[in-house]
């Protein structure tokens, strides 16, 4: 059973333990840096993302185009900044949806006894779904109708976010259920119940604050997972349309020009890798910092 | 044990029925007209007849049950017929046909499966062969330089998406160094030494990518499992009675640590097969992943449906195998 008392006393060992995990600190800072660059960058950078300039086609890196241009003379750095916005937005929203569903299912299964078995069977069912083929099929079948309903970008965004969220909540649900079941046996929860706290109040006052750490860890790892899934979909040509390129799409477009301008494929790929690596390291560090058992073991 | 297996098997039947129904429903509800790609010159009447022949007007449940009959009764029977040469029942039974190539879907898949199995199988075996020693040694020397390096590399293998690693490898080894071909030539048949070397060369990159990913995942589990076991009392006992260090680590700790890892290995197989979809796309290998993508792009629903369901069957099957294997390998667990 994990002991998550840090939230009641925020100044306790959590930060110290987190700071000891160097990978997590570096990962976290880099992740913030990427976020800032993507958010602020497009306003500061002189070139617009889609601007075609036929006199500057397939350029190598230079001062005005630090990572070169593509076959239409569009600045790649601007495209990466702009694409990062979409990629990270998809990642964050899909992760939020997945964590929300996972937390709801996990806490419900842990709190309500008669819901436990059906919800866990449902989780097992979802775990048996072939996720990648199913994602591809759904996007193929529903892309056009959603595009007609919500417009080209919003339609595909909603579809991808919904599908990633709906197919990735199972681990969170399982972990949270186990945490809630363990918490329910603790004295303070029993005391709160004995004092007449209603179930909803119990969840809000005692359960949620104590499982927040677990939720944050799964959110971080879920972000990495969502970004990889979205990039894979875009790479397979079933993600965002080429006029709103995400990093995955830029990589996919770049693979056609590997002999001419390999930078077109390398940079978006590097950005995906960097973000995912940072999120994974951050998740690892948070987990170690939140789990006192690993205190003696890890660096 | 037997009752447990039977119970597990019985539980997987409703799971499969549910998944097949979900897949069927998903395809069915989608706004998609199988006659849309036919020439415009076909009169509306004929088009209606075509749609009727495809059974589009029938109630949902009828169509689902018909599909199930084709899939679960006709296809296995056909397969048996091909295998044994004996004929079972009506030889002209309806088959699941591809809309694009008009060939039976099962034959299409059987055509593509060997390439996928070769690549995936080789990479999985290679991945396990790398992961186990790495996991064992890095847990044994926890916090040593090997452990740090191993953790870093496995984190990279875990985080670098295969589509990016594939592209990087193509840029380095195919474009710059020209060591390996970037496109997998599936028409190549191994007839002699030279074609064998060519086959090996084109397999190097896809197999390496998948193997690295597998090794990264499995070595993490192996290391964690070893770390959990290394501090048990029986290890101290083994050392106290004077067993040599390799014997303690290999026969006692590693053997016990392998138990959960075997489950992870079994559970990973369907995922690796699904992951091969991307690798096949990078190197243009015509395996089942490529079949799935090309069918998706041409809207060939029967193929897509069958393949998706096949992946689901694999997942359920390997879940079952993992559970049974765990029970068989670990005498402490009794299911009855």
Residue B29: CB atoms within 10 A of its CB come to 11
Nearest Cα residue in chain A from B143: A299
Closest CA to B218 of B326, B135, B108, B118: B135
Per-residue pLDDT of chain B (336 residues; tens, 9 = 90+): 777 778 878 878 888 888 888 888 877 776 666 666 667 777 778 877 777 776 666 677 777 887 787 777 777 777 777 777 666 666 566 667 777 777 777 778 888 888 888 888 888 999 999 888 888 888 888 888 888 888 888 888 878 888 888 888 888 888 778 787 777 777 777 777 777 787 778 888 888 888 888 888 888 888 888 888 888 888 888 888 888 888 888 888 888 888 888 888 888 888 888 878 888 888 888 888 888 888 888 777 778 888 888 888 888 888 888 888 877 777 776 665
- CA gap A50, B196 in Å, rounded: 47
CA A296, distance to chain mean position in Å, is: 29
- CA gap A105, A102 in Å, rounded: 5
Does B296 sit within 8 Å of A125, measured CB to CB? Answer: no
- CA gap A164, A94 in Å, rounded: 6
pLDDT > 50? residue A6: no
Q: Distance (Å) from the C-alpha of residue A198 to the closest C-alpha of chain B?
A: 36
pLDDT score at A297: 40
pLDDT > 80? residue A208: yes
Contact between residue B78 and residue B249 where contact means Cβ atoms under 8 Å apart: no
pLDDT score at A101: 94
Among A21, A34, A121, A128, most B C-beta atoms within 10 A, so best to mutate, is A128
User: Mean pLDDT, to the nearest integer, of A1-21?
Assistant: 60
Nearest Cα residue in chain B from A126: B19
Closest CA to B9 of B327, B308, B328, B316: B316
pLDDT digits (tens, 9 = 90+) for A257-270: 777 777 778 888 88
pLDDT score at A9: 47
- CA gap B58, B39 in Å, rounded: 24
pLDDT digits (tens, 9 = 90+) for A268-292: 888 888 899 898 888 888 887 776 5
| A197: exposed, middle or buried (Cβ count in 10 Å: 0-12, 13-18, 19+) | middle
User: Mean pLDDT, to the nearest integer, of A205-229?
Assistant: 86
- What's chain A's average pLDDT? 80
Half-sphere exposure of B249 (CA within 13 A, CB side): 14
pLDDT confidence of A102, banded at 50, 70, 90? very high
CA end-to-end span of chain B: 6
- CA gap A279, A94 in Å, rounded: 15
Q: What is the model's pTM?
A: 0.82
CA B168, distance to chain mean position in Å, is: 24
- CA gap B336, B324 in Å, rounded: 13
- What is the three-state SS of chain B? CHHHHHHHHHHHHHHHHHHHHHHHHHHHHCCCCCCCCCCCCCCHHHHHHHHHHCCCCCCHHHHHHHHHHHHHHHHHHHHHHHHHCCCCCCCCCCCCECCCCCCEHHHHHHHHHHHHHHHHHHHHHHHHHHHHHHHHHHHHCCCCHHHHHHHHHHHHHHHCCHHHHHHHHHHHHHHHCCCCCCCCCCCCCCCCHHHHHHHHHHHHHHHHHHHHHHHHHHHHHHHHHHHHHHCCHHHHHHHHCCCCHHHHHHHHHHHHHHHHHHHHHHHHHHHHHHHHHHHHHHHCCCCHHHHHHHHHHHCCHHHHHHHHHHHHHHHHHHHHHHHHHHHHHCCCCCCC
pLDDT digits (tens, 9 = 90+) for A196-207: 888 888 888 888
Query: How far, CA to CA in Å, does B322 sit from each of B5, B148, B231?
Result: 11, 30, 26
Does B307 sit within 8 Å of A280, measured CB to CB? Answer: no
Closest CA to B99 of B310, B294, B314: B294
pLDDT > 60? residue A37: yes
- CA gap A50, B25 in Å, rounded: 39
User: Mean pLDDT, to the nearest integer, of A104-112?
Assistant: 88
Does A277 sit within 8 Å of B159, measured CB to CB? Answer: yes
Contact between residue A268 and residue A78 where contact means Cβ atoms under 8 Å apart: no
pLDDT digits (tens, 9 = 90+) for B164-186: 888 888 888 887 787 877 777 77
| B146: exposed, middle or buried (Cβ count in 10 Å: 0-12, 13-18, 19+) | middle
Closest CA to A210 of A233, A185, A230: A185
pLDDT > 90? residue A97: yes
Query: How far, CA to CA in Å, does A250 sit from each of A75, A257, A258, B284, B295?
Result: 12, 11, 12, 19, 24
pLDDT digits (tens, 9 = 90+) for B53-108: 766 666 777 778 877 877 777 777 777 777 776 666 665 666 677 777 777 777 78
pLDDT score at A8: 46
Contact between residue A27 and residue A275 where contact means Cβ atoms under 8 Å apart: no
Helix (H, G, I), strand (E, B) or coil at A75: strand
pLDDT score at B91: 59
pLDDT digits (tens, 9 = 90+) for A158-186: 888 998 999 889 888 988 888 888 888 88
Nearest Cα residue in chain B from A278: B159
Nearest CB neighbour to B296, from listed A140, A248, A277 = A140
pLDDT score at A267: 85
Does A258 sit within 8 Å of B171, measured CB to CB? Answer: yes
- CA gap A125, B316 in Å, rounded: 9
pLDDT > 50? residue A223: yes
Beta bridge partners of A69: A75
pLDDT score at B147: 84
- CA gap B292, B307 in Å, rounded: 7
pLDDT > 80? residue A53: no
Helix (H, G, I), strand (E, B) or coil at A69: strand
pLDDT score at A299: 35
Nearest Cα residue in chain B from A261: B171
A98: enclosing H helix or E strand: helix A76-111
Chain B residues inside the 8 Å CB shell of A238 = 296
Tabulate helix, strand, coil % of chain A (nearest 5).
Answer: 75, 0, 25
Does A124 sit within 8 Å of B15, measured CB to CB? Answer: yes
pLDDT score at B57: 65
ipTM of the complex as predicted: 0.78
pLDDT score at B32: 61
Nearest CB neighbour to A141, from listed B32, B314, B315 = B32
B137 touches chain A (CB under 8 A): no
């Amino acid at each position: 059973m994990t002991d998550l008392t840090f939230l009641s006393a925020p100044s306790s060992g959590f930060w110290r333990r987190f700071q000891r995990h160097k990978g997590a600190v570096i990962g976290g800072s880099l992740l913030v840096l990427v976020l800032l660059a993507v958010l602020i960058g497009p306003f500061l950078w002189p070139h617009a993302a889609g601007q075609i300039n036929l006199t500057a086609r397939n350029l190598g890196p230079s001062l005005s185009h630090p990572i070169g241009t593509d076959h239409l003379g569009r600045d790649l750095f601007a495209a990466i900044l702009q694409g990062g916005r979409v990629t990270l937005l998809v990642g964050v929203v899909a992760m939020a949806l997945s964590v929300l569903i996972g937390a709801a299912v996990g806490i419900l299964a842990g709190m309500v006894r008669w819901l436990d078995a059906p919800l866990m069977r449902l989780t097992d069912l979802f775990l048996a779904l072939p996720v990648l083929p199913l994602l591809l099929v759904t996007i193929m079948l529903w892309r056009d109708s959603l595009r007609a309903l919500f417009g080209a970008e919003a339609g595909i965004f909603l579809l991808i976010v919904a599908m990633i969220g709906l197919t990735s909540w199972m681990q969170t649900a399982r972990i949270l259920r186990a945490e809630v079941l363990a918490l329910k046996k603790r004295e303070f929860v029993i005391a709160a119940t004995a004092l007449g706290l209603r179930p909803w109040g119990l969840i809000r006052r005692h359960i949620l604050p104590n499982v927040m750490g677990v939720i944050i860890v799964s959110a971080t790892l879920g972000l990495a997972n969502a970004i990889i899934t979205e990039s894979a979909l875009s790479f397979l040509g079933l993600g965002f349309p080429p006029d709103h390129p995400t990093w995955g799409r830029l990589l996919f477009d770049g693979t056609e020009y590997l002999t001419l301008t390999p930078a077109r494929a390398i940079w978006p790929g590097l950005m995906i890798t960097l973000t995912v690596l940072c999120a994974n390291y951050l998740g690892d560090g948070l987990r170690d910092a939140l789990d006192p058992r690993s205190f003696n073991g890890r660096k | 044990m037997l009752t447990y297996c039977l119970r597990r098997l019985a539980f997987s039947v409703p799971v499969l029925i549910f998944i097949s129904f979900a897949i069927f429903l998903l395809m069915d509800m989608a706004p998609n007209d199988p006659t849309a790609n036919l020439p415009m010159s076909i009169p509306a009447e004929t088009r209606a007849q075509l749609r009727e022949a495809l059974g589009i007007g029938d109630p949902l449940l009828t169509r689902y049950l018909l599909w199930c009959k084709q899939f679960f009764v006709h296809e296995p029977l056909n397969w048996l017929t091909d295998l044994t040469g004996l004929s079972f029942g009506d030889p002209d039974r309806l088959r699941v046909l591809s809309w694009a190539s008009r060939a039976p879907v099962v034959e299409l898949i059987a055509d593509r499966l060997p390439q996928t199995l070769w690549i995936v199988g080789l990479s999985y075996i290679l991945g396990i062969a790398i992961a186990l020693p790495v996991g064992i040694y890095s847990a044994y020397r926890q916090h040593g330089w090997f452990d740090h390096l191993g953790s870093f590399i496995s984190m990279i293998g875990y985080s670098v998406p295969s589509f990016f690693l594939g592209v990087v490898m193509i840029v380095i080894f195919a474009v710059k160094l020209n060591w390996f071909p970037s496109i997998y030539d599936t028409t190549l048949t191994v007839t002699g030494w030279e074609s064998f070397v060519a086959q090996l060369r084109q397999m190097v990159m896809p197999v390496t990518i998948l193997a690295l990913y597998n090794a990264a995942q499995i070595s993490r589990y192996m290391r964690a499992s070893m770390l959990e076991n290394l501090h048990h009392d029986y290890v101290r006992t083994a050392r106290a009675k004077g067993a040599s260090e390799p014997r303690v680590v290999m026969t006692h700790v590693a053997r016990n640590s392998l138990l959960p890892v075997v489950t992870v290995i079994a559970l990973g197989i369907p995922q690796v097969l699904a992951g091969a979809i991307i690798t096949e796309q990078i190197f243009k290998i015509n395996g089942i992943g490529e079949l799935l993508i090309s069918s998706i792009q041409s809207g060939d629903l029967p193929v897509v449906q069958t393949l998706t369901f096949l992946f689901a069957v694999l997942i359920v099957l390997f879940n079952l195998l993992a559970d049974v294997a765990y029970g068989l390998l670990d005498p402490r667990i009794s299911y009855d």
